[in-house]
Structure 1
Amino acid sequence: MAVGNDDAVLRGKPALIAANAAAKVVYAAKSADNDRMKSGDCQYIWQARDWPEWRYDLAALAGPLVEVGRAQGMLLGRLTDVGFSLRDQASLAALTEDVVKTSEIEGEQLNVESVRSSIARRLGVDIGALAPVDRHVEGVVEMILDATANYQAVVTSERLLSWHAALFPTGYSGLARIRIGAWRDDANGAMQVVSGTVGRQRVHFEAPPAETLEIEMRRLLAWINAAPNEPPLIRAGLGHLWFVTLHPLDDGNGRMARALGDLLLARADGAPQRFYSLSAQIQRERKSYYDILERTQKGSLDVTEWLAWFLATLHRAIDQAQVTLDSVLAKARFWQRFAGVPVNERQIKLINRLLDGFEGKLTTSKWAAIAKCSSDTALRDLSELQSHGILQKSTAGGRSTSYELAEPE
């Protein structure tokens, strides 16, 4: 039985296994195929006679499509008014969140500052001092940026497999050696998603046999690269669903599916810059994501319910981008206000952390740890910012003195 890290089995986290099981989408057939499923002849959607002839009620989705379009228009309208520099900052924030959250869904915690630095360097956005970046972070960033910045390029097997190689630069997922640069071969058994402890495991999904993948992937890629017959946002939802149905890789299928969805969303937007993150919204709504995929797994080729959920979640992702834009604008106003105040790199770094939403209380010891300086230097930094009216002592109680951004007069 072959299971990848996206299934969380190698990490030994049963809760993640059960959750991510739904992300490896399976299907059952409709109409006559539903009868076959009830009789036990057809368990998964890829076994349907008319697979993959997707069906959906466009009339039922018309309203959500209009609402998402309106939300996109409002966001882009605001971005048009803020200028190139702030648009770059908003895009940097969205891409950083996208990279961090697509990994977090799979139980992997990436360093936010490293991700932000990697993206900023590639986009040419000035964020001051850059944080160190490891090869794993670079790989995820490479995949997301290729998917979005090069959204118009043809999607080929070689391109998808290069994403996979970027995700696993060592050829290992955890301690397990995995196939890189090729589709899975099922050498150790069928690709299954399971949950539960050894001896009490439950199979949530079994992917199509490996010997069918060459044909299946050619069909998917031909559809992606063909002139669209569906509304662009519908294609994004179908592409995400189709890829995770095939589950063509030893590991990384969830992240690859979301990157492919980002590519199709960029095509829908007609622009390479990303200002919202669907992956971040999926991470915030993990339970409903898993629930709808679980229902879709054993439903029919009519995927109207999945597409309705996809569009509603996309709408909320765009609404959340408005909040991110508010934060970008607030940060810009802050630095304009203190443009004449001399600050060092440590102070810039910590102030930006506060502006981005610092968790907990900022004390001298925390400043020293984050800025990698002595306690005396941290205290001097804090005192200088206090004298400039940038920081003030927090009124909240506690054993140690803490600091917060000063309220504007």
Structure 2
Amino acid sequence: MKWNWEQPDWPDFVYDPAALQPLEREFLLRSGEFIGAFRHIGADQQDILRIELIGDEALKTSEIEGEILNRDSVQSSLRHQFGLGAARPDIPAAERGIAEMMVDLYRGFAAPLGHQTLFAWHRMLLAGDRTIQVIGGYRTHADPMQVVSGPIQQRSVHFEAPPSARVTGEMTHFIDWFNRTAPDGIQPLPALTRASMAHLYFVCIHPFEDGNGRIGRAIAEKSLAQNIGQPSLIALAYTIERKRKNYYAALEHDNKDLEINGWLNYFAGTILRAQITTIGRVDFYVAKARFYERHRDQLNARQSKVIERLFREGVDGFKGGLSADNYITITDTSRATATRDLRDLVEQGALSKTGELRYTRYRLKLC
């Protein structure tokens, strides 16, 4: 017996519930911290931040699968989905589809999971794909569903899913389990335990021809949202993508046995790191709003363009810090003007300066 679904006790996963209790408490504490921080932001600013957080998740969950999407198109589609902007006819199907799925996840987090919800997400994700045989339904092909790597002559099989003939039955059991273990279900599970198990359980079934990873991560986010009673807006895919190899290694390690303590510890830790990232991004957004309150009327057009670019880099900032050459490239101005603009930004307290001569670097001064 090679895979976990071939075990006679499948899908009765084995784990130590006590091992995650400290992490479960930490998750609930940080959830309250995030909710409190988010509520201190004005309604209009909440809309903008919501789109930024959801948009980044949409981009990163796609990037994990090797699909690079256009940020502006995703955010434009999200604004339209939330009623904050007109529909743009030039939005590609992939960007529109992932935005639709993420908004449906956000709005419908509390609803029980069902086949039709998963089929709808699949149609959204793959609306523009012409290579998939079944879109909006479970796979039906007779060939083994495998996760492989390497050249054909030396192909490595990292996982093989249950045959297509078993998928509908497996998914019926999965959906029943997911709804039974919800906070209002008959067998509720703690937040981290349930989300971690749900993701592993789903991807081990691998019910679709494509899109399983993105839908599996959406299920984990739905699970977390149900456990805290509101959309989590958690940077889960954002955090996974940063150490994508670890994610795939953890999945591969735990797809051959029903004992999943290692997976639960890995995924729970990832969720907690995602929470820290999310709270940090909310704090960064609040700092951004305060920054513009202080400096908006003091910036010329060139400075505004550079400051906007720096903020777009996010919490991590401009890699290596902003240099005079960066400033010249972004604004298409002379070195003398760049030097004068940068000196002015430092004097007004918008940027901090480190280093000298060609090693001089500038960073946003947010406090």
- Between the aligned partners of 1:308 and 1:390, the Cα distance in structure 2 is 43
- Whether 1:183 aligns to 2:159 is no
Does the aligned pair in 1 maintain the 2:60–2:241 contact within 8 Å? yes
2:140 is aligned with what amino acid? Answer: D
Q: Is the 8 A contact 2:14 2:260 kept in 1?
A: yes
Does structure 1 residue 279 correspond to structure 2 residue 233?
Answer: no
The answer to whether the 8 A contact 1:390-1:405 is kept is: no
Residue of structure 2 equivalent to 1:96: 55
> CA contact under 8 A between 2:350 and 2:366: conserved in structure 1?
no
Residue 206 (str. 1) matches residue 160 (str. 2): yes
CA deviations on 1:192-243 (whole Å, 9 max, x unpaired) are 1111112111111111000011111111112223314312332211111111
Q: Counterparts in 2 of 1:101-112, with a 5 A limit?
A: 101-112=60-71
Whether the aligned pair in 2 keeps the contact of 1:115 and 1:137 (CA below 8 Å) is yes
Unaligned 5+ runs, structure 2: none
Q: Is the 8 A contact 1:89 1:328 kept in 2?
A: no
The residue number in structure 2 matching 1:134 is 92
The answer to whether residue 21 in structure 2 is matched with residue 62 in structure 1 is yes
- Equivalence for 1:240: 199
**Compared with structure 1, are the counterparts of its residues 67 and 384 closer, same or farther at alpha carbon in structure 2 (3 Å cutoff)?**
closer
1:195 to 149, 152, 164: 149
Partner SS, residue 283 of structure 2: helix
**Post-superposition CA distance 1:341-393 (Å, at most 9, x none):** 6977x98665422223255654455446xxxxxx89xx999999998969889
Q: How does 1:44-63 map to 2 (within 5 A)?
A: 44-63=3-22
> 1:256 Cα shift?
1.0
Q: CA separation in 2, counterparts of 1:137 and 1:367? A: 29
Instruction: Find out whether 1:322 has 2:276 as its counterpart.
Output: no
Percent identity of paired positions between Structure 1 and Structure 2:
32
**Equivalent in the alignment of 2:212:** 253
Does 88-97 or 248-257 show the bigger shift? 88-97
- Are the equivalent residues in 1 in contact too, given 2:295–2:350 (CA < 8 A)? no
Tell me the distance in 2 between the aligned counterparts of 1:247 and 1:406.
44
Unaligned runs of 5+ in 1: 1-41, 369-374
Matches within 5 A, 1:155-194: 155-172=113-130, 176-187=131-142, 189-194=143-148
TM-score by length of 1: 0.74
Match status 1:294 vs 2:252: yes
Q: Secondary structure at the match of 2:157?
A: strand
Deviations 1:142-200 (A, max 9, x none): 1122112211223222221121111111232xxx343212211124x111111111211
1:68 to 1:405, Cα distance in 2 relative to 1, 3 A: closer
- 1:178 aligns to what SS in structure 2? coil
Mapped contact 1:86–1:329 kept (Cα < 8 A): no
- Shift in Å, 1:76: 2.4
Provide the rounded CA distance (Å) in 2 between the counterparts of 1:74 and 1:386: 38
Task: Tell me the TM-score normalized by structure 2.
Answer: 0.82
Write the distance in 1 (CA, Å) between the matches of 2:286 and 2:30: 19
Q: Note closer, same or farther for the CA distance 1:225–1:393 as it changes in structure 2 (3 Å cut).
A: closer
Deviations 1:284-309 (A, max 9, x none): 1223222222221122x232221122
CA-based RMSD of the aligned residues comes to 3.4
Q: State the structure with bigger RCO (CA 8 A, min sep 6), 1 or 2.
A: 1
Aligned mates of 1:356, 1:106 — CA distance in 2: 23
Q: How many angstroms does 1:281 deviate by?
A: 1.0
Q: How many residue pairs get matched? A: 348
Rounded to whole Å, the distance in 1 between the matches of 2:366 and 2:140 is 62
- Measured against aligned partners, the alpha-carbon deviations of 1:106-164 in whole angstroms (never above 9, x if no partner) come to 111122232233323433568xxx99632211111111221122112232222211211
Native 8 Å contact 1:363 1:403 kept in 2 = no
Q: 2:169 aligns with which of 215, 220, 230?
A: 215
Q: Which amino acid aligns with 1:335?
A: Y
Give, as a single letter, the amino acid of the residue that structure 2 aligns with 1:320.
T
Question: In 2, are the aligned partners of 1:276 and 1:317 still within 8 Å (CA)?
Answer: yes
What secondary structure is seen at the aligned counterpart in 2 of 1:199?
helix
Partner of 2:219, secondary structure, is helix
Contact 2:288 2:366 in 1 (8 A): no
Range moving further from structure 2, 113-122 or 277-286: 113-122
Inter-partner Cα distance in structure 2 for 1:294 and 1:64: 23
Structure-1 residue corresponding to 2:222? 263
User: Cα deviations across residues 40-90 of structure 1 (Å, max 9, x unaligned)?
Assistant: xx1111011121112321111111111222222222233333443444343
Q: Does 1:72 align with 2:28?
A: no
Q: 2 CA distance for matches of 1:207 and 1:269?
A: 32
1:305 aligns with 2:262: yes
